[in-house]
Each structure stands twice: as structure tokens, then as C-alpha cells.
Amino acid sequence: MIKQITCYGDSGVICDFGDEVKKEINIKVIALFKTLQQKIINQEIKGIKNCIPSYNKLIIFFDLTNTTSKKIISFVESIAKEQTNSFSEGKQWKIPVCYDKEFGIDQQRVADYTKLSIDTILEKHLNTIFYIYMLGFAPGFPYMGDLENQLYCPRLKTPRVKINRGSVIIAENFCAIYPYDSPGGWNILGNTPIELFNQDSSNPSLFSPGDTVKFYQISKDEHQKFNMKDFLNNVS
């Protein structure tokens, strides 16, 4: 449940669920997030401009000309119990990944750090069902947990100037995918041809918080021939 609700500047409030990064806590954050979204659609609450979920908090921004922090806090408190019963599981995604050495440039680094073979690392990565805690850093960038403890590997001491779009990456207990070319210090295991963010779409981000991801391996040739439209048409 929510531990406390506090003001965030003049036009925001933070719903704090604690300090731990756990799926059980994040599920409650996402449940409140989805409940608020539905309330906004149903026009049961006015003045909310945006809601941003994180690992263990939900930030709500509102329009001071339409409402107040006191009204927002009171409304959130009134639906706090409802949100625990309203959570529906997110989409279950199966995402292709190519582990070709051209893409997986940090496989050996992870192997050296974990003392596991590269084959074992990739097998464990493929067998994990990742939970999307939140989107952030860049549009569509999914923070996914929880990586097996045996695969724990710190970030690079010196971040790279460029990590290629589609890079499937791990660091510490998390996995992610880069939606764009970007600097970064995560360990690169492979690459997916999936387009994570389409600014021309009504729902630009492919993933949503609360979704799950399971990777399946494809060849370099399959990666090059991948068709995003065909992929989306086959998504149930």
C-alpha cells in the first residue's frame, strides 16, 4: 500500500510505496497508475496532466488552474483500496534477439566477471521472464528485472559514446533494450530488430510498465530480414 503521499513542487504529488525495488511493490504502483488512467478517461477526476510510474513511486502532475494538491491527495487516498483489486496483468511479449558476436560485444566481459561460460549466460538470459518496472531514460526504454543473481555484472567504468539501437543490455540486476543510438555503460549481450518507439503511433511506446518480456534467439540473417509490420500483425 501507499506509505505516504507528499507534494512535489507546486503542481505535483508523489505517492510513495517505499524504497525497495520489488515486483510486488511495483505491481501496486502500476495498479494505481492504471486506475488513475481509467478515472481520467471516465472524467471522474479533472486537472491531472500526467502520471509517471517508477520502481516504487507514482508522480502525479496536475493543472493548478483546475485542481489543488489537497484534492488530488484526497482522491488518491479514496481509491487506494480499489487499486489493489483492479490490477490486470500486462502484455506478455516474445522478443527476438540475435547474440551474434558482432552485436554481443560484452559477452566475454560478462563471462569473465561471472565465471560462467557464454553459452550458460545466454541460456539463462533466454530462460528469464523479465518484468518491466518502468519506462525511462529515453522514450520507450524499458527497465526490466529481475536478472538472475548469477548474471550480476556492474556497468562499465567508462560509458561508451554510442550504444546501437536495439542493443539488449544488462547491468547489475536489470536488463534493458536501447530504443535509439545513445551513450551508455550497460553490458551488451545482443541486439533485437524490434522498434520500441514510434512517435507517429497513437501509442508510441511498444511496451508498458507491468508487461513481461521473454527473449527468443534468432540468427543474424533473420535479424536482417526482420519485418516489424509482420511482427505486430502476429502479436496476440
Reported in sequence order, the residue ranges of the chain that DSSP labels E, i.e. its strands, are 4-7, 12-16, 48-53, 57-62, 92-97, 130-135, 142-145, 160-163, 167-171, 174-177, 182-184, 187-191, 212-217
Residues 154-187 have pLDDT tens digits of 999 999 999 999 999 999 999 999 999 999 999 9
- C-beta of residue 12 within 8 angstroms of C-beta of residue 61: yes
Average pLDDT for 8-15? 94
Q: Looking at per-residue confidence, does 235 or 186 come out higher?
A: 186
Q: How many CA atoms lie within 13 A of 86 on its CB side?
A: 16
> 164 to each of 138, 168, 174, 189, 234, how far by Cα in Å?
13, 9, 18, 12, 26
The predicted pLDDT at position 196 comes to 95
Residues 45-84 have pLDDT tens digits of 999 999 999 999 999 999 999 999 999 999 999 887 665 5
* Beta strands 57-62; 174-177: pairing state: unpaired
- C-beta of residue 128 within 8 angstroms of C-beta of residue 214: yes
CATH number of 92-234, picked from 2.40.100.10, 3.40.50.720, 1.10.3980.10, 1.20.140.10: 2.40.100.10
Phi and psi, residue 182, nearest 5°: -165, 155
Average pLDDT for 82-99? 79
CATH number of 4-83, picked from 3.40.50.1580, 3.30.1360.40, 1.10.1060.10, 3.40.50.300: 3.30.1360.40
Matching fold, domains 4-83 and 92-234: no
The predicted pLDDT at position 203 comes to 81
Residues 196-219 have pLDDT tens digits of 998 888 788 999 999 999 999 999
Sign of the dihedral through C-alpha 68, 74, 79, 81 = positive
Q: ∠97-177-187 over CA atoms, to 5°?
A: 90
Phi and psi, residue 189, nearest 5°: -95, -30
CA distance 225 to 234: 16
- How do the domains of the chain map onto residue ranges? 4-83, 92-234
**DSSP 8-state assignment for residue 151:** G
Residues 21-55 have pLDDT tens digits of 889 999 999 999 988 988 999 999 999 999 999 99
The predicted pLDDT at position 86 comes to 52
